[in-house]
Amino acid sequence: AQSVTQPDIHITVSEGASLELRCNYSYGATPYLFWYVQSPGQGLQLLLKYFSGDTLVQGIKGFEAEFKRSQSSFNLRKPSVHWSDAAEYFCAVGAQTGANNLFFGTGTRLTVIP
C-alpha cells in the first residue's frame, strides 16, 4: 500500500537559516514525487516535482529536493529561509502508470522567526 510519512509536524527556523523537510514514501511501483506548499487560507501550490532523471530537482522560490531511492526519501531543502516561507508543506506521491491521483503526507508546518 502506498503511504507518505512526514515525520516532523512542526519546524521552527530563524530567517536566513537553512531548512530541510523530511519525506519518506512507500510505494509499490516507481513513483512520481511532489512537494506542495499551502499558505493559510489558500490552496496547494506546486513547489517542485520528480519524475525521472537527475535526482536533484529545482523548484520555485529557491527550493530543491533530492530523490534517494535507497532511502525511499524525497527531502525538501532551502539554503536560506525567508519569512514569507512560513506555511504548511506537503509531500505527495503519485503513480507513473494508471490513475494519476496523489497520496499526501500529513504535512509539516514551518514557522520562521525573525
Partner 1 sequence: EAGVAQSPRYKIIEKRQSVAFWCNPISGHATLYWYQQILGQGPKLLIQFQNNGVVDDSQLPKDRFSAERLKGVDSTLKIQPAKLEDSAVYLCASSPAGGNTIYFGEGSWLTVV
| Contact present, 21 and 73 (Cβ < 8 Å) | no
Q: Is 17 an interacting residue with respect to partner 1 (CB under 8 A)?
A: no
Q: Is 94 an interacting residue with respect to partner 1 (CB under 8 A)?
A: yes
Q: Is 107 an interacting residue with respect to partner 1 (CB under 8 A)?
A: yes
Q: Is 52 an interacting residue with respect to partner 1 (CB under 8 A)?
A: no
Give the Cα separation of 65 and 47 in Å (integer): 10
Smallest separation (angstroms) from partner 1 to the CB of 100: 5
The answer for residues whose C-beta is within 8 angstroms of residue 53's C-beta and 6 or more apart is: none
Binding range to partner 1, per CB under 8 A, among 12-20, 40-48, 58-66, 73-81: 40-48
Give the Cα separation of 57 and 49 in Å (integer): 7
Give the Cα separation of 13 and 89 in Å (integer): 14
Q: Is 71 an interacting residue with respect to partner 1 (CB under 8 A)?
A: no
Footprint on this chain of partner 1 (rule: CB under 8 A): 4, 32, 34, 36, 41-46, 49, 51, 90, 92, 94, 96, 99-107
